[in-house]
Chain A
């Protein structure tokens, strides 16, 4: 009888631990623990190309096993509309045990139709690891009038 009771207690403890682990993993979030600040940059490389990039950091500085990811999107607009052929987006910047992240994207310039001004756009957004991933701490969109 005692043996059965011990088994039951051990089993209950294991079940509780397992459930708690799952619950913790499901709710794990560093959103609010630290803030991601954004620093976009656009490098004009001449008539042929340009580079859009960012250099972001946590404030206060935090090293976490998974903080989320930063998505960098760059494109060119003509007369306020996106030139779809210039669209580029990268979602491979995962924050694992780092307190800052950076990336850049080389792009070629395309001509705009007559009468339309060209702009280069550099957009970075941090996505927290919460499920579902949520956009956080602003994100920043920078534009530059380009020759």
Chain B
């Protein structure tokens, strides 16, 4: 009888200990889940903002020749014509909804400061209220990796972006959404070093016009992952029917001159809507 009591006491003690350990484990998980994005990234949202001292140094980029410069002009003209279709339809007063999916094939680092892996796939839902000039009055951008701790919600209001998941507000800036994926800015800023070319392709049964930018470096550059990069190529796929971008692919050029894909963005939806869902409108202060 005494032995049985001892065994029963031992079982109860083990069960109690297990319960305590389990509850502590759950608590630890809960605490981990509750940790803020700023802690994961080790960022101080209250750090003073400074206007960046931006310098431009294009000395490591190979220059293009006159023939290529002329070809660039022809390619850019084609893009402008195509984009004008999309702008006429979508850069109008009212709400614009743009949805996309991004897949990164390479990352600058493997982990965040807290040791958690850096995600390589996410979606973006962008809701923008445009005025009659196509300038944004306000906007919400929801970036979702599938991990609630890493979700980012950014709100454009009163002329500035605030990443409310981080508690960080940028300097005020004008926000004028464009439909060219930044091609025209690239064409203007890097006209002496970037080659443009065009071709046609079929993506998901759609006829597309492919606009390619290519930059080659004199000396290879390496990122955190120690891969040597000799240049980059970006392919922009425009639907011929609507003028909308449907896909963007970024590539690194390796030491043999071959292309290695680094990122693909699929544009899922571009549409004019009467109003965003109520949960999106709730992010605005007014």
**Which B254-268 residues have a C-beta within 8 angstroms of A?**
262-263, 265, 267
B31 close to A (CB within 8 Å) = no
Q: Which residues of A contact B108 (CB under 8 A)?
A: 85-88, 107-108
B76 close to A (CB within 8 Å) = no
A123 close to B (CB within 8 Å) = yes
The answer to whether B53 and A147 touch across the interface, beta carbons within 8 angstroms, is no
The answer to whether A141 and B162 touch across the interface, beta carbons within 8 angstroms, is no
Q: Which residues of A contact B60 (CB under 8 A)?
A: 45-46
The answer to whether A147 and B267 touch across the interface, beta carbons within 8 angstroms, is no
A-B Cβ contacts below 8 A, count: 219
Q: Which residues of B contact A43 (CB under 8 A)?
A: 54-57
Q: Which residues of A contact B70 (CB under 8 A)?
A: none
- Across the interface, name the chain A residue whose C-beta is closest to B161: A80
Q: Min CB distance, A145 to chain B, in Å? A: 7
The answer to whether A123 and B43 touch across the interface, beta carbons within 8 angstroms, is yes
**Which A95-143 residues have a C-beta within 8 angstroms of B?**
105-120, 122-123, 125, 135, 138-143
Residue with the greatest number of chain B CB neighbours at <10 A, chosen from A43, A85, A144: A85
The answer to whether A111 and B248 touch across the interface, beta carbons within 8 angstroms, is yes
Query: Could you tell me the distance between the alpha carbons of A142 and B188 in the complex, rounded to whole angstroms?
Result: 24
The answer to whether A44 and B50 touch across the interface, beta carbons within 8 angstroms, is no
Query: Could you tell me the distance between the alpha carbons of A139 and B31 in the complex, rounded to whole angstroms?
Result: 27
B186 close to A (CB within 8 Å) = yes
The answer to whether A85 and B118 touch across the interface, beta carbons within 8 angstroms, is yes
- Across the interface, name the chain A residue whose C-beta is closest to B56: A44
Q: Which residues of A contact B229 (CB under 8 A)?
A: 48-49, 108
The answer to whether A81 and B252 touch across the interface, beta carbons within 8 angstroms, is no
Q: Which residues of A contact B155 (CB under 8 A)?
A: 80
Residue with the greatest number of chain B CB neighbours at <10 A, chosen from A40, A71, A110: A110
The answer to whether B57 and A73 touch across the interface, beta carbons within 8 angstroms, is no
- Across the interface, name the chain B residue whose C-beta is closest to A106: B221
The answer to whether B107 and A87 touch across the interface, beta carbons within 8 angstroms, is yes
Given contacts A46-B215, A71-B42, contact A110 B182 (CB under 8 A): no
Size category, A interface: 35 or more
Render B208-244 as a binary contact track against A, CB cut-off 8 A, 1 for contact: 0000010101000111100001011010000000001
**Which B174-192 residues have a C-beta within 8 angstroms of A?**
175, 177-179, 181-182, 185-186, 188-190
The answer to whether B224 and A118 touch across the interface, beta carbons within 8 angstroms, is no
The answer to whether A88 and B223 touch across the interface, beta carbons within 8 angstroms, is yes
Query: Could you tell me the distance between the alpha carbons of A111 and B154 in the complex, rounded to whole angstroms?
Result: 18
- Across the interface, name the chain B residue whose C-beta is closest to A119: B170
Query: Could you tell me the distance between the alpha carbons of A82 and B112 in the complex, rounded to whole angstroms?
Result: 13
Query: Could you tell me the distance between the alpha carbons of A47 and B244 in the complex, rounded to whole angstroms?
Result: 22
The answer to whether B51 and A142 touch across the interface, beta carbons within 8 angstroms, is yes
Render A40-73 as a binary contact track against B, CB cut-off 8 A, 1 for contact: 1111111111000000000000000000000101
Given contacts A85-B263, A113-B126, contact A42 B182 (CB under 8 A): no
Other-chain residue from A44, A45, A89, A110 in contact with B262 (beta carbon distance below 8 A): A110
B198 close to A (CB within 8 Å) = no
Given contacts A48-B217, A84-B145, A89-B42, contact A39 B223 (CB under 8 A): no
The answer to whether B47 and A114 touch across the interface, beta carbons within 8 angstroms, is no
Q: Min CB distance, B225 to chain A, in Å? A: 9
The answer to whether A41 and B53 touch across the interface, beta carbons within 8 angstroms, is yes
Q: Which residues of A contact B181 (CB under 8 A)?
A: 111-112, 114
The answer to whether B113 and A89 touch across the interface, beta carbons within 8 angstroms, is yes
11 contacts between A and B (CB under 8 A): A42-B52, A45-B61, A48-B61, A48-B232, A80-B170, A85-B263, A114-B270, A116-B141, A138-B47, A140-B49, A142-B51
Closest 9 CB pairs of A and B: A80-B154, A85-B104, A142-B52, A80-B161, A115-B177, A139-B47, A113-B100, A79-B141, A81-B152
